[in-house]
Structure 1
């Protein structure tokens, strides 16, 4: 009892002492932790590498741990010293892939004030060069042209510096080509670099074993948009053909570009191979809307204001048929046309279109109303386009006070070829660089329900070059000739004219041509039009140009040239283009005159 009483007496004192002790411990720990936090702040460190090319310097810095971790909070004095001692190994590791295995390195580390400075002077030394190369592809099919070409594209020539990324890239290319050609189990049975540092030589050994070449198997199509027969026409392989992944990629591209689908995925089921065949799965989603509507507004000095309304049904039925129609209402050019299209043969490029059109045109003293209809076979790829068709044309027209009517059954051929790279076309279908050649041939015979016999050939060439950045030179040439008894046997739509926004600027639309006794322009049987334009790009959307045009349209073979020159501006917009040209006529003009040529087009 006496002990308990004493304990109770000293209990407040004990509590006070313990509380004071705990407070002291807490305060001590607080300052220790605060010091530790401050001590973990990274010390200022500068790293300099000298004596090597920028490419090598960048690789050294990317490998040098003293530089990589320089901003780390753990980069304290102790760690700086440790990593500095290991710097030589880091630098050697960075230079090795570039073929330098014997560098001489001088380094220095010092502290100036609060800042550490690490300096490295590197002499990369004598490089390792390539001696022997053993490149081989084993297995059935190893003599294929693409493998022979691959072996001919050796990663090194004897004596080249051993730049290891070339070796790695070439090794990956060998496997990539083998896999792409259906050798899905291809593997290297030998792949090594023998490096002899004392001799400064390296030998390359790459031996690829092809293994089994797999073939295309069953097709599994998960779609109900088009018929299986039409779908298969987009696949340029047959079951049993060697499996080539590029053909699947191309099929996916063309199916998507067909306009029938919203999304398309074509893949080979390489994870479920049956025997030596790889099944192909196609998943395709239908479009949300098959009908597409287009509203267009435009103005041109030649034809005045115009408005266009278009309708396009991209899939009329599962056989891939399409239907399109367009109505244009303009001051001097109005039309209504419709076309029914059927994919044939290779649907990626080929179709048959049956078209009908009505057109009402006016210019100068000429008026023309045309009703035309007929079928045509059309081929259209990125570079080559051509069509072969037959068209019945009925045209009522008047030129001044004279009137006429023409009924012709006209076989036609037209084609074009683009000599240019894939990026040759820019927005608004302008030719950026290259040459576009076009030909148009048509005719008629009185023996085939026609009012007249004629044969007409027209050649067009557009060339564009860009010798200096932001500058473009564009040249155009049109040659045309018609074999016909009399110009009066041809309706205005089949005669040649010159002058206007896209012909000889400085003159009115179709005002250049032979004239009748009343002074009315009646066109010609022959034409020559040429243009040279220098264009300077001012920004992504703006350009300025100077031009010179010359043209003739005559009944007789002898040309009667008219010339025009001027300057202009271009505005390229997401929905179309604005063109403004100021043309000055240089032939048969009294005094100085300027003609404005302005056009703007857009579709929404």
Structure 2
């Protein structure tokens, strides 16, 4: 009996010590949060769904963020929140527990570990449509085949709450585009717990087929109603079509004349009003926009610019732009640009762009004035192409002893350039300043001389492929660039500003600007007719608005046209920091050459990602 009482005493003592230990953890700072067993949902996604956050020591010091304090009741709430997140992702039977926290009594911090058993997810076994309402008659199979590809929750896919919400909107929009302005869509799930699957039945109440009524314009002050009405792509009496209304709003907004554009059908669900009048509301943007900027970079040193734009020139969508810039690389650059949008159709535009400036690069200095006539066509939000006719008069300052130019005895070399340039860009990369996903592909060809005149005849081609992939909290960015120049002249001379150069903050970062590639006897960059560059960069978060990067790069430039030698590639490795700002990331990079007699590191300070 005494022995049993002794064990009871020890058990109660241990329980008291453990309880006091847990009590001591209350109000300790949560320094780190980890998950184990989350095979499907990444840590970054789960952290976004939680109220609790991990705050590192650096976060506290540099961002002044207040750490989350440990609390057992709060942890119960967080586990319930995580449970709902997984159930919303199709893991209905998920189990979540919190391991005993790792405690640092000296620093008064805790490290949390959530243990997750996802279980088998529910998948979609069928997608059906059911229609209700008087006079409704649809071919279920034909509708499914025509529109099924637009849905995210298809047969065999894992069930997700967010995808279901999006698919409800997709189904409703299908009917709104077919004229059913009052269409309503609901859903029914047919759960099969024994097979961990469910069916989805979309219950559609289309309502009557409607037409568009009169459009009333509201909000315009300086821009004429007649001009705005010409941009509307529907007319009174047309069948109701939501996509057409959205396209009208998008086209008007892209004119850059308006700060706000709304195309609002005036529906009345109680009476099912038909025809449906439309209110077109606009809020005009300021006619005059002026921007100024200053900055500093290791390559262009102190830089500044001024940008003046006047919208609605001569009362239409025409605009004029005056731009001026100064930096070490461009001591001065002035440009005037007149743009006529919606040329031929709503996707085309043409500009007249006279300019003059000085380029002061490591390998050359030129003074140029001329004119560009670009014709741009925007196929969609991802793809656009530009065909430009250009004429330039160039004055090149000749370096002593330079044998490339026809008359090396002169101090200056004058020549004319005339030709066309075609470029096309396809981009799904988002977000704009620091892409985390998508691709960016640009292709271009420049035809100088030949039937267009000019002092030299040559063809310049280039391509640039970039891809971005988010991996957990990190972003893997890849770039491959290739170019070549073919000359039809006996001399083979290519103007210095059109040659390829490698090395620098946006190129191979183990070399300074234009340093990688052919050199003159004086040691200055000569440029070449062939280029090949490859970059791989891993971007990862450090704390708050500060990110780190690690990169590996290779490339080179060759004098001959379309001449690439993989065994002559130069390599560099390095890392850097990114500080997120409203104008893009401020960037600091350090690059070091590999397997090369040149071993000095290069340092770069700039704005924006390297690619």
Paired residues of 1:390 and 1:412 also in contact (CA < 8 A) = yes
Aligned-pair distance for 1:174? 7.0
State the match for 1:593 in structure 2.
Answer: 600
State the match for 2:92 in structure 1.
Answer: none
Shift of the 389–322 alpha-carbon distance from structure 1 to 2, 3 Å rule, reads same
Q: Does 1:408 align with 2:417?
A: yes
State the match for 1:270 in structure 2.
Answer: 267
**Structure 2 unaligned residues grouped into runs of 5+:** 1-124, 156-162, 191-198, 401-407
Paired residues of 2:319 and 2:340 also in contact (CA < 8 A) = yes
Q: For residues 47-75 of structure 1, what are the alpha-carbon distances to aligned partners after superposition, in whole Å with 9 as ceiling and x for unaligned? A: xxxxxxxxxxxxxxxxxxxxxxxxxxxxx
Paired residues of 2:587 and 2:608 also in contact (CA < 8 A) = no
SS of 2:497 mapped into structure 1:
helix
Q: Does 1:213 align with 2:209?
A: yes
Distance (whole Å) between structure 1 residues aligned to residue 177 and residue 364 of structure 2: 62
* Rg (Cα) greater in structure: 1
1:291 to 281, 288, 291: 288
TM-score (norm 1): 0.65
1:554 to 549, 558, 563: 558
Shift of the 204–305 alpha-carbon distance from structure 1 to 2, 3 Å rule, reads closer
Q: For residues 543-594 of structure 1, what are the alpha-carbon distances to aligned partners after superposition, in whole Å with 9 as ceiling and x for unaligned? A: 111112222111211444222221111111113331111111235425x421
State the match for 2:373 in structure 1.
Answer: 375
For the aligned residue pairs, the C-alpha RMSD in angstroms reads 4.3
**Structure 1 unaligned residues grouped into runs of 5+:** 1-129, 158-165, 195-202
SS of 2:373 mapped into structure 1:
strand
Paired residues of 1:393 and 1:410 also in contact (CA < 8 A) = no
**What count of residue pairs does the alignment treat as equivalent?**
452
Distance (whole Å) between structure 1 residues aligned to residue 229 and residue 435 of structure 2: 34
State the match for 1:566 in structure 2.
Answer: 574
State the match for 1:142 in structure 2.
Answer: 138
Aligned-pair distance for 1:539? 3.1
SS of 2:526 mapped into structure 1:
strand
Paired residues of 1:405 and 1:491 also in contact (CA < 8 A) = no
SS of 1:251 mapped into structure 2:
helix
TM-score (norm 2): 0.64
Paired residues of 2:571 and 2:593 also in contact (CA < 8 A) = yes
Distance (whole Å) between structure 2 residues aligned to residue 139 and residue 151 of structure 1: 24
Q: Does 1:478 align with 2:481?
A: yes
Q: For residues 25-58 of structure 1, what are the alpha-carbon distances to aligned partners after superposition, in whole Å with 9 as ceiling and x for unaligned? A: xxxxxxxxxxxxxxxxxxxxxxxxxxxxxxxxxx
Distance (whole Å) between structure 2 residues aligned to residue 171 and residue 581 of structure 1: 47
State the match for 2:298 in structure 1.
Answer: 301
Paired residues of 2:574 and 2:592 also in contact (CA < 8 A) = yes
State the match for 2:31 in structure 1.
Answer: none
Aligned-pair distance for 1:443? 0.8
Paired residues of 1:513 and 1:553 also in contact (CA < 8 A) = yes
Q: Does 1:426 align with 2:431?
A: yes
Paired residues of 1:187 and 1:209 also in contact (CA < 8 A) = yes
Aligned-pair distance for 1:446? 3.8
1:577 to 579, 585, 589: 585
SS of 1:317 mapped into structure 2:
helix
Paired residues of 2:419 and 2:453 also in contact (CA < 8 A) = no
Distance (whole Å) between structure 1 residues aligned to residue 415 and residue 438 of structure 2: 39
Paired residues of 1:258 and 1:348 also in contact (CA < 8 A) = no
Shift of the 550–151 alpha-carbon distance from structure 1 to 2, 3 Å rule, reads closer
Distance (whole Å) between structure 2 residues aligned to residue 193 and residue 533 of structure 1: 44
Shift of the 337–185 alpha-carbon distance from structure 1 to 2, 3 Å rule, reads closer
Paired residues of 2:255 and 2:341 also in contact (CA < 8 A) = no
Aligned-pair distance for 1:416? 0.9
Paired residues of 2:363 and 2:526 also in contact (CA < 8 A) = no
